[in-house]
Structure 1
């Protein structure tokens, strides 16, 4: 399998509204060396999503704004140009500090996009997470994601 050249202009990509922001799928790459997906995340100020454990590694590269990332038991204050890795199998989350943040997110493998798509279709982003807990748990379970402590 070879990788083909892909160009996605600014402002384009499939949008997945999530609890922690709008995840815009930019590209999914599959080749002989493996797979990864790239997302632009536009995150408003909101309560921190519950820490969750994903089966893929995520890389958060902060483009604009400030966030506090929590990975395991460690908190990181992230400024533009900063990077945090959320290792697969480790409870992680982030919170926007200020009005909003723009993040380049890269995930290992090819499963995160399918999870974001189903989550966005199943969980209303404008309702408190507590009101959508049943739908959240159903989607996360199908994709191998779990809430930390659950």
Structure 2
């Protein structure tokens, strides 16, 4: 079946694919991987964010971020220009997307299409969640709204955070629009 397919195509014969925002980019022929505990680590608004695959490694097609969230972590209800997929590794998460709510346990997943107002809440002591941003972009928001993590743990309470004005500017710069409050604990 694959007898006549060359192992490596010449550069001018490689597949070209459309990217969501309108330009054409060569599909990468280089594999990317990130080992356990590896990746760019940031303390982002009370969480540990580990960028496992940055958008730069996928020509902007996606980014994969592992988050460690504390109990009751919940961002404001918001929209942004990426699809966002959640895959729970540890802990429990309630995801609200539009009028729907999903209770996610380890091994469960949810996908929120771009432009749909959504939020989530951590319902366990902590939660470890893989978040896939399609196209990439969420990792840039994380970088711009955080400080480098000094240890691979949740940040200490003394960790500096952006002011509300600085945070709003970061959100705006990356297309995130906050449209409502976070989910309250135990709701």
**Fold shared per TM-score above 0.5:** yes
Runs of 4+ more than 4 Å apart? none
- The yes-or-no answer on 1:96 pairing with 2:127 is no
Q: Of the candidates 142, 151, 175, which is equivalent to residue 116 of structure 1?
A: 142
Alignment correspondent of 2:178: 147
Q: In angstroms, what is the RMSD of aligned CA positions?
A: 2.2
Distance in 2 of aligned mates of 1:88 and 1:20: 24
Please say if residues 37 and 107 of structure 1, whose CA atoms lie closer than 8 Å, have aligned partners that are also in contact.
yes
In structure 1, the residue matched to 2:99 is 73
Distance 2:34 2:73 in 1: 31
SS at the partner of 1:12? coil
CA distance in 1, matches of 2:163, 2:75: 13
Contact residue 18 and residue 120 of structure 1 kept, 8 A = yes
Once the two structures are superposed, residues 46-68 of structure 1 have per-residue CA deviations (whole angstroms, 9 ceiling, x without a partner) of 34221111110110001111011
Give 2:133's match in structure 1, choosing from 107, 119, 122.
107
Q: Structure 1 residue 61 and structure 2 residue 87: aligned?
A: yes
Structure 1 spans left out of the alignment, 5+ residues: none
1:28-67 mapped onto 2 (5 Å cutoff)? 28=54, 29-30=57-58, 35-67=61-93
Structure 2 stretches of 5 or more lacking a match?
A: 1-25, 148-154, 182-187
Residue correspondences, number: 142
TM-score, normalised on structure 1?
0.84
In structure 2, the CA distance between the partners of 1:20 and 1:78, relative to structure 1 (3 Å rule), is farther
* TM-score scaled by length of structure 2: 0.69
Which structure is larger by alpha-carbon Rg, 1 or 2?
A: 2
2:43 corresponding residue in structure 1: 17
**Distance in 2 (alpha carbons) for counterparts of 1:39 and 1:92:** 18
